[in-house]
Amino acid sequence: MARYNPRAMTNTPSSESSRQLLRHTLATLAYRGGKAFRGAPADFSAFQVASGTRTPGQILAHIGDLLDWALSQAQGTEAWRESPPRSWDEDVARFFVSLGALDAYLASSDSPGASTEKLFQGAIADSFTHVGQISMLRLLAGSPVRAENYSRADVVAGRVSSEQTPPKREF
């Protein structure tokens, strides 16, 4: 029986298709993040389930840091900066601005300084984890995010702003 050898794979995605898939992933993050952030209670940013745990505001600021880090990696100038939380609305706006900047870079003809796989497995995957945490904290704070069939959501590569198509059917 032959052993799995990833280097021997001949059907690897092209750089362009990898970038398009990553752009669709960013649009998915915009859709899901926007849904988790919209309608949060006024005091939600400071909600804390236990001593020593991050607040939603701290998590959201961290997501902004992750997206800025991913852009710096894509540009070949990797830099990590940790930002303190601002107001909920300011950090939500930062989320979408950072997503937009990363998406614009991936849409450009500039050569990425990091592979799309590395960008995905690091900052992007981590951002999805944190959006999930915020959704769970919304539930614990008494303001749950309504579920939906996300495979039917109108997610389009390049649509990474707060302006998203409303859900088709929530439950």
Q: Is the pLDDT of residue 4 over 50?
A: no
pLDDT band with cut points at 50, 70 and 90 for residue 6: very low
CB-based contact 32:39 (threshold 8 Å): no
Structural domain includes residue 24: yes
Per-residue pLDDT of 126-162, as tens digits, reads 999 999 999 999 999 999 999 999 999 999 999 999 9
Instruction: Supply the pLDDT for residue 2.
Output: 54
Please give the residue range of the domain that contains residue 141: 17-40+53-146
Which pLDDT score is estimated for 14? 61
Look at the pTM and tell me if it is higher than 0.85: yes
Least confidently predicted of 5-14, 64-73, 160-169 = 5-14
Class of residue 149 by CB neighbours under 10 A (exposed 0-12, middle 13-18, buried 19+): exposed
Q: How does pLDDT run across 108-132, given as a tens digit for each residue?
A: 999 889 999 999 999 999 999 999 9
CA 107/CA 119 separation, integer angstroms: 15
Q: Which residue has the tokens 């539930």?
A: 139
Looking at the chain, the whole-number percentage of residues with pLDDT higher than 90 is 88
Contact 74, 98 (CB under 8 A): no
- How many domains is the chain built from? 1
Residue 120 lies in a domain: yes
Contacts of 89 (CB under 8 A, 6+ apart): none
What is the Cα 161 distance to its own chain's centre? 12
- What is the mean pLDDT of the segment spanning 20-33? 98
H or E element at residue 103: helix 88-107
With respect to residue 158, please indicate whether it lies within any of the assigned structural domains: no
| Residue 163: inside a domain | no
- Look at residue 1 in the predicted model and tell me its pLDDT: 55
Distance CA 63, CA 67 (A): 6
Mean pLDDT of 23-45: 97
Is position 83 within any domain?
yes
Contacts of 78 (CB under 8 A, 6+ apart): 69, 72, 113, 114
Please check whether residue 58 is in contact with residue 85, taking contact to mean a CB–CB distance below 8 angstroms.
yes
Q: Is residue 11 part of a domain?
A: no
Q: For residue 148, give Cα distances in angstroms to 71, 101, 113.
A: 30, 28, 36
First to last CA, the chain: 47
d(CA 109, CA 100): 16
Is pLDDT at 9 greater than 50 in this prediction?
no
Instruction: Read off the pLDDT band of 11 (50, 70, 90).
Output: very low
Domain membership flag for residue 80: yes
Q: What pLDDT, on the 0 to 100 scale, is given for residue 48?
A: 97
Residue 113 forms part of a structural domain: yes
In CATH, what number is assigned to the domain containing residue 32?
1.20.120
Amino acid at 113: G
